[in-house]
Structure 1
Amino acid sequence: MAKIVLDISVSAFKFKDMYKGTAKNLIAKSRDGRNVQLPLAVFKSFLTHQGIYGTFEVEFDENRKLVGVNKVR
């Protein structure tokens, strides 16, 4: 399984766009330079009043399907 590391900084105000339907995906650059597009919904459990901030490890299967997301810091 493949893993990538993302440093994410999304304010609660920006995350609110997901609830309005104007934003469905998060586009980020991994630490190794790859651009990744993920559904915002997978980060919902990490949402605080301030937003989503931290380092996340994202795991994919051999078919590039999302397996899971874990906060590492």
Structure 2
Amino acid sequence: MAKIVLNVALPAFKYEAMYAGAAKNLVASSLDGRKVQLPLSAFQRFVTHQGIYGFFEVEFDDMNKLVAVTKVKAF
């Protein structure tokens, strides 16, 4: 299984665009420079009043399907 780490900084007003139908995916660069597109719903449990902020480890299976998203301490 492959893992990548993302540093996400998504203000609440941009996250709210998901509910308006304007955004369904989060596009971010991993710490090693790879660009990924993930469903914004995978980060829903990490939303605060400020938005989504922090480092996240994203795990994929052998078919590159999303398995898990975990918030981790800063690198």
Partner of 2:31: 31
Give 1:5 deviation, angstroms: 0.2
C-alpha distance in structure 2 between counterparts of 1:19 and 1:32, whole Å: 31
- Unaligned stretches of 5+ in structure 2? none
Q: CA offsets, 1:26-46, max 9 Å, x none?
A: 000000110000000000000
RMSD: 0.4
Partner of 1:3: 3
Percent of matched pairs sharing the same residue: 64
Give 1:70 deviation, angstroms: 0.1
Give 1:18 deviation, angstroms: 0.3
Give 1:24 deviation, angstroms: 0.4
C-alpha distance in structure 1 between counterparts of 2:20 and 2:43, whole Å: 16
* Amino acid of the structure 1 residue aligned with 2:51: G
Question: Could you list the runs of 4 or more consecutive aligned residues of structure 1 that deviate by over 2 angstroms after TM superposition?
Answer: none
TM-score, scaled relative to structure 2: 0.96
Partner of 1:18: 18
TM-score, scaled relative to structure 1: 0.99
